[in-house]
């Protein structure tokens, strides 16, 4: 029988967030695959875990992944840990999970800390629906494409950022989403100096221009409101005359009566007003 791959969450700052189960699993498995073995060694020493360790990171995830799957297929149990938080969330762990499933190896999660969830829950913004974006792409074209998608996102958004890039990212998001959009900048999560700075993008940019941030940051961003969407639609129709608005629907094969009804709905006016405007336009042409 093949072994099991355990995705073990580790603390994102506070060592007391390590679960009893995670400590036990890390002691019992045959091998621990760690993103940074030097960083993880401090954690393992703290909990007196002596299990052998190997590196598994972005730059060796394919070659090392095959080796790990081979050991799992041979019956060994392996635990995967990241530098902080839950493996598979914005790290190469997702690749190893896919390889395990393709090889018929069982994968299970040992849950614990996750920066995205910690930030979301203390943000003060809606948590019912959210979109996790992780780090924005470094490539300029891809970054612009993602920002364009975020512009239309109605769910609360969660974005990771390094402190030395925070101001630039806040400025880009302000220019894309609007200076009045609300954001919560969460830093040093679970640590002694944990902070949550809630503001509009305009206020956040002004604040961090004067204060250099420290520590990894998680941005929790208010989604586009239904009111904002409705206003944008009405503004779009408002740039058309009623006659042009009618033509827009008539060219799609919609009957005149239904087109008038839709125009009235789009513009938030009565059908009589649409009819009167059309009548006046037709009389002017005659």
Q: pLDDT tens digit string along 148-198?
A: 999 999 999 999 999 999 999 999 999 999 999 999 999 999 999 999 999
Tell me the average pLDDT across 80-107: 94
- Phi, psi of 228, deg, nearest 5: -65, -40
- Who wins on pLDDT, 275 or 73? 73
User: In 3D, which of 200, 154, 198, 152 has the Cα closest to residue 174?
Assistant: 200
Please count the other Cβ atoms lying within 10 Å of the Cβ belonging to residue 222.
22
Element (H, E) at 81: strand 78-81
- pTM of the predicted structure, to 2 decimals: 0.79
Token pair of 231 as six digits = 């206003």
User: 81: which strand partners?
Assistant: 34
3-state secondary structure of 182: strand
Residue 265 scores a pLDDT above 90: no
Phi-psi region of 149 (alpha: psi -120 to 50; beta: other; left: phi over 0): alpha
Rg, the chain, Cα only: 27
Measured at the CA of 142, the angle between CA 136 and CA 147, to 5 degrees, comes to: 55
């Amino acid at each position: 029988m093949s072994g099991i791959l355990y995705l073990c969450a580790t603390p994102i700052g506070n060592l007391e967030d390590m679960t009893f189960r995670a400590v036990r699993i890390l002691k019992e498995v045959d091998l621990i695959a760690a993103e940074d073995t030097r960083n993880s060694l401090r954690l393992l020493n703290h909990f007196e875990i002596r299990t052998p360790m190997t590196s598994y990171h972005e730059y060796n995830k394919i070659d090392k992944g095959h080796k790990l799957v081979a050991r799992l297929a041979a019956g060994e149990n392996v635990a995967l840990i990241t530098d902080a938080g839950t493996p598979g969330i914005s790290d190469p762990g997702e690749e190893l999970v896919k390889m395990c499933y393709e090889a018929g190896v069982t994968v299970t999660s040992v849950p614990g800390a996750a920066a995205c969830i910690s930030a979301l829950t203390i943000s003060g913004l809606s948590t019912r629906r959210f979109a996790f974006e992780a780090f924005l792409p470094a490539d300029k074209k891809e970054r612009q494409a993602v920002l364009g998608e975020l512009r239309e996102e109605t769910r609360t958004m969660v974005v990771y950022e390094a402190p030395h890039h925070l101001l630039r990212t806040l400025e880009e998001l302000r220019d894309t989403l609007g200076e009045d959009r609300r954001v919560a900048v969460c830093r040093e999560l679970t640590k002694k100096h944990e902070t949550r700075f809630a503001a509009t993008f305009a206020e956040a940019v002004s604040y961090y221009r004067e204060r250099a941030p420290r520590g990894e940051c998680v941005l929790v961003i208010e989604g586009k409101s239904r009111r904002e969407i409705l206003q944008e639609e009405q503004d779009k129709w408002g740039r058309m005359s009623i006659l042009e608005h009618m033509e827009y629907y008539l060219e799609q094969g919609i009957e005149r009566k239904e087109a008038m009804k839709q125009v009235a709905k789009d513009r938030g006016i009565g059908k009589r007003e649409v009819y009167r405007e059309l009548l006046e336009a037709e009389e002017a042409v005659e």
